[in-house]
Amino acid sequence: MTYLYFVIVQVFLVYPVRNTAIDIKNLSPLGIWLRSPDGTPHPKKINNAYINNPILINVWKYGSTLERRHIYRFQKSKKFSPWDGCSVNDCQLSYDDKDLERADAVLFHLHRMTKKDAKEIALWSREKRRPSQIWIFLTDESPMHTVIYPEYNGLFNWSMNYRINSDVPVPYGRTILQRHDGNFHQFNIDHIIKNKTKFIAVMGSNCANGPKSPSNRWEYVKKLFDYLPGQLEIYGRCLNGNMTACPGHFASDCPLLNDYKFYLAFENSNCQEYLTEKVFWNAYSKYSVPVIMGPPKSDCEQLLPPHSYIHINDFPSPLDLGDYLLMLDVSDNAYLEYHAWRNEFNVLNEHGYFGSVSRHYCRLCESLHYNPMQPSKTYWNVEKYWNKNDQCLKDPMNSI
């Protein structure tokens, strides 16, 4: 095997603070705070007028479905309060239709909703909805996996999704600049290499591939697998992977991933800001370096710690990427440069998978306190806002 060595030099004399004027002009007060350094005070509460105390949030029709992730965190026998660790706690959740009319805010889970549901809420809005009631549409999936019905247009006031410019931002994870005060403890990154006994892994069970797939990730994985025989380990049912070692899906962690230097964080679609637990949990929390296929590299530069990841778009082909990973595998110093960020930034997991904390309902309650109600806002064209043609790339190889 011929090794092609790449040298990528990145110098970070000052770690970038990503809240530039260009970035923040379209962010909600909560969105600005979520990107701020550790210790930044929460936004100032706005005296919005609500008819209920505590503020009543109705989760329409699919509240019990969302509970499994955001209340139970996939732990079958234990419920968690969504207000634990939240900056506000004077909100109340209801899944009961009898509370729909009097609720201060109503949350709609688009990933579950049908055409019939869309028609039903459009009719209800015309006949019974109070003008002051806030309607929020939630999706954790990318535009490639979200069905937008025309009936939605003109119904919703706020968006709630992983993008930082949404009205209620709920990213899968966040990057926080650490505060170096008296409580700061330097992390010795040299210890990381001692626990890394394996090379690279990928995990997944959504094996869609080819022309009809929103991502050709498994085609890319197959090329890497063939080029790195015996070194790329696949967990899950794709490409004849190991289906027994980590069977828990979102409910159970996979401790085996702790052993790997690299993790292929290949998303199911390549859309703006769509970075999921694959990056934040399967890679960063395991002290592995994520190799990313998903949003453009420019998004990663805004959302992730500097020099903490490898993006496929930096390499002409899977073979070139494989050569670069092999070089890092034999150079501890070069590999550990991808962990230097750990003494400057923290990465938070807030998605509710694997028992991690979920902040969805907390963020909604916070937005009801921090977001201004005036001037009123309406999404007249939801498909334009959440558009797969404008915001997603069919085949990331086309951008290489």
**Across residues 145-158, what is the average pLDDT?**
98
Q: Is the pLDDT of residue 199 over 80?
A: yes
**Per residue in 309-341, pLDDT tens?**
999 999 999 999 999 999 999 999 999 999 999
Q: Is the pLDDT of residue 17 over 70?
A: no
Band of the pLDDT at 395, cuts 50, 70, 90?
Answer: low
pLDDT, averaged across the chain: 91
**Across residues 74-88, what is the average pLDDT?**
91
Band of the pLDDT at 209, cuts 50, 70, 90?
Answer: confident
Neighbours of 150 (CB within 10 A): 12
> What percentage of residues in the chain have a pLDDT greater than 90?
80
Q: What is the pLDDT of residue 45?
A: 93
Q: Is the pLDDT of residue 74 over 60?
A: yes
Band of the pLDDT at 7, cuts 50, 70, 90?
Answer: very low
Q: What is the pLDDT of residue 10?
A: 37
**Across residues 218-239, what is the average pLDDT?**
95
**Across residues 136-152, what is the average pLDDT?**
98
Q: Is the pLDDT of residue 238 over 50?
A: yes
Q: What is the pLDDT of residue 212?
A: 56
* Weakest mean pLDDT among 169-178, 193-202, 255-264, 390-399: 390-399
**Across residues 210-222, what is the average pLDDT?**
79
Q: Looking at per-residue confidence, does 18 or 99 come out higher?
A: 99
Domain ranges of the chain: 45-170+359-399, 190-349
**Residues 155, 125 contacting (CB under 8 angstroms):** yes
Domains 45-170+359-399 and 190-349 share a fold: yes
| Whole-number Å distance between alpha carbons of 126 and 136 | 16
| Whole-number Å distance between alpha carbons of 247 and 236 | 8
Q: What is the pLDDT of residue 23?
A: 64
Q: Is the pLDDT of residue 3 over 80?
A: no
**Residues 371, 158 contacting (CB under 8 angstroms):** yes
> What's the CATH number of domain 45-170+359-399, 3.40.50, 1.10.3470, 1.10.1760, 3.40.30?
3.40.50
**Per residue in 165-192, pLDDT tens?**
999 999 999 999 998 776 777 889 999 9
**Across residues 109-121, what is the average pLDDT?**
98
Q: What is the pLDDT of residue 9?
A: 37
**Per residue in 266-298, pLDDT tens?**
999 999 999 999 999 999 999 999 999 999 999
Q: What is the pLDDT of residue 211?
A: 53
Q: Is the pLDDT of residue 156 over 90?
A: yes
Three-class HEC string of the chain: CCCCCCCCCCCCCCCCCCCCHHHHCCCCHHHHHHCCCCCCCCCCCCCCCCCCCCEEEEECCCHHHHHHHHCCCCCCCCCCCCCCCCCCCCEEEECCHHHCCCCCEEEEECCCCCHHHHHHHHHHHHHHCCCCCEEEEECCCCHHHCCCCHHHCCCCCEEEECCCCCCEECCCEEEEECCCCCCCCCCCCHHHHHCCCEEEEEECCCCCCCCCCCCCHHHHHHHHHHHCCCCEEEECCHHHCECCCCCCCCCCCCHHHHHEEEEEEECCCEECCCCCHHHHCCCHHHCCEEEEECCCHHHHHHHCCCCCCEEHHHCCCHHHHHHHHHHHHHCHHHHHHHHHHHHCEEEEECECHHHCCECHHHHHHHHHHHCCCCCCCCCCCHHHHCCHHHHEECCHHHHC
Q: What is the pLDDT of residue 2?
A: 45
**Across residues 33-48, what is the average pLDDT?**
92
Amino acid at 300: C
Band of the pLDDT at 250, cuts 50, 70, 90?
Answer: confident
190-349 carries CATH number 3.40.50.11660: yes
CA atoms within 13 A on the CB side of 43: 21
Q: Is the pLDDT of residue 136 over 80?
A: yes
> What percentage of residues in the chain have a pLDDT greater than 70?
91
**Across residues 61-67, what is the average pLDDT?**
96
| Whole-number Å distance between alpha carbons of 276 and 217 | 15
| Whole-number Å distance between alpha carbons of 102 and 58 | 9
